[in-house]
Amino acid sequence: MLKTLGAQVKEYKKASIATPVFMILEVIMEMIIPLMMASIIDDGVEAGNLHHIYVMGAWMIVAALIGLFAGVMGGKYGAKASTGFAKNLRQAMFENIQTYSFSNIDKFSTAGLVTRLTTDVTNLQNAYQMLLRMCMRAPASMIVAMAMAFMINARLASIYLVAVILLGCCLFFIMSRASKYFQQAFPKYDDLNASVQENVSAIRVVKAYVREGYETSKFQKASGNIYNIFCKAEKNISYNAPLMQFTVYSCILLISWLGAKMIVGSSLTTGELMSLLTYCMNILMSLMMLSMVFVMVTMSMASAERIAEVLNEKSDLDNPEHPDFDVPNGSIEFDHVNFSYRKGEGKPVLSDINFSIKSGETIGIIGGTGSAKTSLVNLISRLYDVSSGSVKVGGKDVRSYDMEKLRDEVSVVLQKNVLFSGTILENLRWGDKNASEEECIRACRLACADEFIERMPDKYNTYIEQGGSNVSGGQKQRLCIARALLKKPKILILDDSTSAVDTATDAKIRKAFLEEIPATTKLIIAQRISSVQDADRIIVMDDGKVDGIGTHEELLKSNEIYREVYESQTGGGGDFDEKRGEA
């Protein structure tokens, strides 16, 4: 884990080294000043030597200025190193997430990834800054102050040693109790973020069903869990301050009492006593700072593990050593394909799938919910890998292609496809960033999207809100189809992507495909038989298996499932799942 996180320091190594160096320099200057104060009192004030007071006073000013400079530079470089480290962590996580396959993404929740990129990185940033500054400053300050105290008077300095040992044991006990609560707290942020994300994304449903009160109580519960855990942790930490004050004041009383006796006995000077009192505060405050560093590090350990988990997760889909960059055509072949989302576990989602599709064919795929239609087409663009068998595109196994090139040649339009915030043109150019406005208009004409775009005030410069919230479901689907067409793919997959489109527009889209992109292989997943009946062939899926393949007329004669669904849809408006349920 430390190696994984440490690799993200990168260009901020110099700042990370400079910070503790300046911190140590600041400590040295702080430790020299009490000695100078002792010299001023003993050799200047008591001896009546004004010149010595001036000289030592000047040196004290120089030491203070050097310490001030070192402190400022330590703060500057510490901030630069920690914020840069946090920036690199976010960037590395985001870049690694982009390489994930669908199966990798399935391991993490959206809320969990958001928490890792925000709260967890912030925790680690704060801890890193504390380590660079306080973790060097506090031990150095304590060690140097202890050494100086023993140089002045070993008998009185032993009071500090006993106090440090006792206080260290007490602080360790307190921190160990608090650390277990911090480890429990940060994963709870996932629940909080999930509650917010779900509520905001589904706010229309919440308001439609008047469930604001329920959502508020759910958020309060998630927020309350974090509150309760942090209260328990902070309750333990609250003992730090009184314990520290008790120790400091006890040491001051003991040193003042014993020191006064020694001054009377001429074994200690007034200046030395002043220096010892100053070192007392330095030593014990250093221990307090160390305890705070321990708290921060403890808090960040859970975050560090969660971040490392994202960084160490590697895509289970890799390019071959010598990938093929040429996809000859849009032919597709499934050869004894079996597929499970979790390899070797549970029932296969797809079982012994065998069929071939010629380049340029239009293939309809129909089946009930859960019949694995989407799983089938996901294998074509290698969003998942088969468990056994092979999927071939252009006569070559999809695993032999460069993944980026393969996915450029296979356009998938999902039923719940996403539009991004920006103009219509900007959304369309996701398909081809160099597409001209004329090419975008042509793609929209093929997808029948030009009908509603032309009625908009700003036409193709109309701004689309995040997720396409200011367009209807059917309009969103047509824009997504147009976006996919701009890629000029060899294979076009429409995964129930005309479900929100009326039948007349659906027919226009299919006619445009037939006339304008005859060389593109088209796979149309649908629940309505009217959407696929004109296809060259139709594949009927049932429970992860191919139940039948043929034309509309052939399946009406030979396939019972297809015939039943056709009759229910033409005779009474039933859909596929409803009829299959009755059967």
Element at 437 (helix H, strand E): helix 437-446
Question: Residue range 480-508: average pLDDT?
Answer: 79
Domain boundaries 2-312, corresponding CATH code: 1.20.1560.10
Segment 182-223, tens digit of pLDDT: 777 766 777 777 777 777 777 778 888 888 888 888 888 888
Comparing 2-16, 342-356, 378-392, the range with the smallest average pLDDT is 342-356
State the Cα–Cα distance between residues 554 and 551, nearest whole angstrom. Answer: 5
Question: Residue range 247-276: average pLDDT?
Answer: 80
Listed by start position, the domains of the chain span 2-312, 332-419+470-582
CA angle 493, 495, 498 (to 5 degrees): 105
For the chain, what percent of residues have pLDDT higher than 90? Answer: 1
Question: Residue range 264-287: average pLDDT?
Answer: 77
Segment 407-437, tens digit of pLDDT: 888 888 876 777 888 888 888 888 877 888 8
To the nearest whole number, what is the mean pLDDT of the chain?
A: 81
User: Is 574 a residue whose pLDDT tops 60?
Assistant: no
pLDDT attached to residue 258: 84
DSSP codes, 367-433: E-TTS-HHHHHHTTTTSS--SEEEEEETTEEGGGB-HHHHHHHEEEE-TT----SEEHHHHHTTT-T
Residues near 344 by beta carbon (within 8 Å), at least 6 away in sequence: 387
Q: How many CA atoms lie within 13 A of 77 on its CB side?
A: 21
pLDDT attached to residue 236: 78
pLDDT attached to residue 53: 84
pLDDT attached to residue 583: 40
State the Cα–Cα distance between residues 224 and 356, nearest whole angstrom. Answer: 56
Number of neighbouring beta carbons within 10 Å of residue 198: 17
What token pair was written down for 173? 């006990």
State the Cα–Cα distance between residues 452 and 463, nearest whole angstrom. Answer: 14
State the Cα–Cα distance between residues 505 and 550, nearest whole angstrom. Answer: 25
Question: Residue range 395-402: average pLDDT?
Answer: 87
CA 443 vs CA 298, 410, 568: distances in Å: 56, 16, 35
The number of angstroms, rounded, from the C-alpha of 98 to the middle of its chain's C-alpha atoms is 11
State the Cα–Cα distance between residues 69 and 136, nearest whole angstrom. Answer: 17
State the Cα–Cα distance between residues 266 and 272, nearest whole angstrom. Answer: 12
State the Cα–Cα distance between residues 563 and 561, nearest whole angstrom. Answer: 5
pLDDT attached to residue 579: 47
**DSSP 8-state symbol, 349:** S
Question: Residue range 388-396: average pLDDT?
Answer: 88
Residue count of the chain, please give it: 583
Segment 25-77, tens digit of pLDDT: 888 888 788 778 778 877 777 777 788 888 888 988 998 899 899 889 988 89
Classify domain 332-419+470-582 by CATH architecture: 3-Layer(aba) Sandwich (3.40)
Question: Residue range 398-407: average pLDDT?
Answer: 86
Residue tagged 């007349």 (tokens): 504
pLDDT attached to residue 65: 92
Residue tagged 């500054």 (tokens): 133
- Crossing angle, helix 473-485 and helix 503-516, to 10 degrees? 10
For the chain, what percent of residues have pLDDT higher than 70? Answer: 96
Strands (E), 39-191: none
State the Cα–Cα distance between residues 190 and 109, nearest whole angstrom. Answer: 8
Question: Residue range 98-105: average pLDDT?
Answer: 77
Segment 217-244, tens digit of pLDDT: 888 888 888 888 888 877 877 777 788 7
Contact 363/524 with Cβ under 8 angstroms?
yes
**DSSP 8-state symbol, 487:** T
Residue-wise burial string across 269-301, b where 16 or more C-beta atoms lie within 10 A, e elsewhere: bebbbbbbbbbbebbbbbbbbbbbbbbbbbbbb
pLDDT attached to residue 576: 53
Phi, psi of 316 (to 5 degrees): -85, 5
Nearest to 398 by CA among 339, 343, 317: 317
Question: Residue range 284-289: average pLDDT?
Answer: 75
Segment 123-145, tens digit of pLDDT: 888 888 888 887 777 777 778 77
3-state secondary structure 196-250: HHHHHHCHHHHHHCCCHHHHHHHHHHHHHHHHHHHHHHHHHHCCHHHHHHHHHHH
Question: Residue range 145-153: average pLDDT?
Answer: 80
pLDDT attached to residue 346: 64
pLDDT attached to residue 69: 92
Residues near 172 by beta carbon (within 8 Å), at least 6 away in sequence: none
Contact 334/354 with Cβ under 8 angstroms?
yes
